[in-house]
Structure 1
């Protein structure tokens, strides 16, 4: 289903949030009420940006068959074979496909964002189809040289790939600062909605 909001411009100076998109503050509550209770163990992790809502739920860990002797039991304790995980993921993906599509359509109507799905099994995340949104930018020579070094060294296949790699790296190392910045932006939103007191 096509997202009607995606082509619109930013509603605020600075471009850090689109004012014309529906407020996603209640997304976790909506999914908590909408998702079948037997899909995941616990509440899913939900990540939101301007374009997409990503829902990642924890699947129950499939239990491998019990070994026949105690030595094998000690060796295989708490180990889930990769093939077992792959089977559990494939089963969930196929058996929930039509329901996930229906829920995604409803969420897109409500929040103006695409919905992507993933699962977590035994501490590892597996994302199903999700958006890769192009971002246009202009770089001066020093920045282009950084990207070209990553390409020439084989770290990245192209400048676009190198730029994605550097963004991931920056996000990983600045996670605490970025979360603090997001919190500050939420405070500004709250203050703007309240308006000046005493008027």
Structure 2
């Protein structure tokens, strides 16, 4: 059996050891890729005012999140700085409060691709129609659409990749 740990487990444990008790209400969700580690914690929603409208409650939640963000800024910066040094990736933070998830920071990384004329024309159509400001925005829009409409398939694929990693780790190892 391999003692090598999966990257997700390593990151989850590393952050769990460093996050102060009570900062979040439950274990954080860690999402990562080659450039960025995103940490999303959950906090309790503010106590609802029985006479508050839906809009007033949404404003109260937004203010609650803003207060949390400011109050925890220094702690999050210190932890992110250590993580960035150790893992060589930027750290982004977000919070879930009730049914709202708000990101405090995220990266936007340029990605190079080669497209054939028919694919470029598709992007140009999205730009011409006002769906996107540029080919870059149009390509981002397409990626988001695929992600939203194929989430089950992508989840299955990610699970299969995780399983392959487990099988690979359990297999014979050369010295």
TM-score range relative to shorter protein: 0.7 to 0.9
Q: Report the 3-state secondary structure (helix = DSSP H, G, I; strand = E; otherwise coil) of the residue aligned with 2:31.
A: strand
Give the structure with the higher percent helix: 2
* Cα distance change on mapping 1:145 and 1:182 into 2, 3 Å: same
Aligned to 1:90: 66
* Counterpart Cα distance in 1 of 2:30 and 2:58: 25
Q: Which one of the candidate residues 111, 132, 141 is aligned to 1:156?
A: 132
* Counterpart Cα distance in 2 of 1:194 and 1:65: 54
Matched-pair contact (CA < 8 Å) for 2:127–2:133: yes
* Counterpart Cα distance in 2 of 1:196 and 1:65: 60
| Structure 2 unaligned blocks of 5 or more | 1-5
* Counterpart Cα distance in 1 of 2:135 and 2:81: 34
Q: Which one of the candidate residues 82, 101, 119 is aligned to 1:125?
A: 101
User: Normalising by the residue count of structure 2, what TM-score does the alignment of the two structures yield?
Assistant: 0.84
* Larger of the two Rg values belongs to structure: 1
* Counterpart Cα distance in 2 of 1:129 and 1:151: 27
* Counterpart Cα distance in 2 of 1:79 and 1:25: 39
User: Over the residues paired in the alignment, what is the CA RMSD in angstroms?
Assistant: 2.6
TM-fit CA distance, 1:191: 4.2
User: Normalising by the residue count of structure 1, what TM-score does the alignment of the two structures yield?
Assistant: 0.75
